[in-house]
């Protein structure tokens, strides 16, 4: 989970930097580099999300219950479409208007991903007093 959260935060930070660069009208080479870096981080984030939600990778009851809650709400489909594949498609269109829309989807998907994982967290005490 820490690596997934790191990749989400890195992707969100790159997307925010790209949004500022588009607003300030930075050179095209900087904008294309930021777009490329954001797309690479977004692909890495989708791979980590898929690995995180794989069944049978963890054994404790709290983790199994959390993952069950995430799978039951179609969490992966919402995040993968809203915060992953749709922004990638919009970035590949190459238009600044589509890039801004893709940035909005990246930021929204990242927020929803963090909220969903934290909200589905189940705590089971390891020791009984």
Q: Where are the domains of the chain?
A: 2-119
pLDDT of residue 56: 63
Over residues 38-92, the pLDDT tens digits come to 999 999 999 998 888 776 666 677 777 778 777 777 777 788 888 889 998 888 8
Q: Give pTM, 2 decimals.
A: 0.82
CB-side exposure of 96: number of CA atoms within 13 Å?
11
């Amino acid at each position: 989970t820490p690596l997934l959260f790191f990749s989400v935060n890195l992707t969100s930070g790159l997307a925010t930097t790209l949004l500022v660069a588009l607003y300030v009208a930075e050179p095209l080479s900087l904008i294309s580099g930021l777009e490329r870096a954001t797309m690479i981080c977004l692909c890495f984030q989708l791979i980590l999300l898929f690995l995180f939600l794989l069944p049978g990778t963890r054994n404790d009851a709290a983790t199994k219950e959390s993952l069950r809650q995430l799978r039951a709400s179609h969490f992966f489909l919402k995040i993968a479409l809203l915060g992953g594949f749709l922004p990638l498609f919009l970035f590949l269109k190459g238009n600044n208007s589509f890039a801004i829309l893709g940035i909005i989807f990246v930021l929204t998907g990242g927020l929803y991903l963090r909220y969903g994982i934290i909200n589905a967290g189940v705590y089971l005490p390891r020791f009984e007093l």
